[in-house]
């Protein structure tokens, strides 16, 4: 049986690459979908702000970008996250 190669697809620009993006950031556009763990606000950025633009709190952000066809692929947020 042949092993299926893992592919990553940027949710913003559609860039496709074999394997995972380094640091979950697209090498083409550099942007990622992020969600504030404090208030749930979603933003798109190459680098995270020191505080959430919505709640103003310094909190953790979770990468919620979809990188696989199972969650919609390009231009989608992964609903499992």
Pairing type for strands 61-63 and 32-36 reads: antiparallel
- Enter the tokens of residue 38: 């404090």
**pLDDT interval class at 31 (50, 70, 90):** confident
Cα gap 81→71, rounded to integer Å: 10
**pLDDT interval class at 27 (50, 70, 90):** confident
pTM of the model: 0.59
* Three-state SS at 77: strand
Instruction: Inform me whether the pLDDT recorded for 56 exceeds 70.
Output: yes
Task: Give the model's pLDDT for residue 42.
Answer: 87
Instruction: Inform me whether the pLDDT recorded for 77 exceeds 90.
Output: no
Residue-range domain boundaries for the chain: 7-71
60-71 pLDDT, tens digit per residue, is: 888 888 777 787
């Amino acid at each position: 049986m042949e092993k299926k190669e893992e592919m990553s697809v940027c949710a913003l620009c559609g860039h496709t690459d074999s394997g995972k993006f380094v640091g979950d950031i697209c090498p083409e556009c550099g942007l990622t979908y992020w969600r504030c763990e404090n208030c749930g606000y979603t933003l798109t950025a190459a680098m995270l702000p020191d505080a959430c633009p919505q709640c103003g709190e310094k909190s953790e952000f979770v990468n919620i970008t979809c990188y696989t066809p199972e969650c919609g692929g390009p231009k989608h947020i992964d609903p499992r996250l």
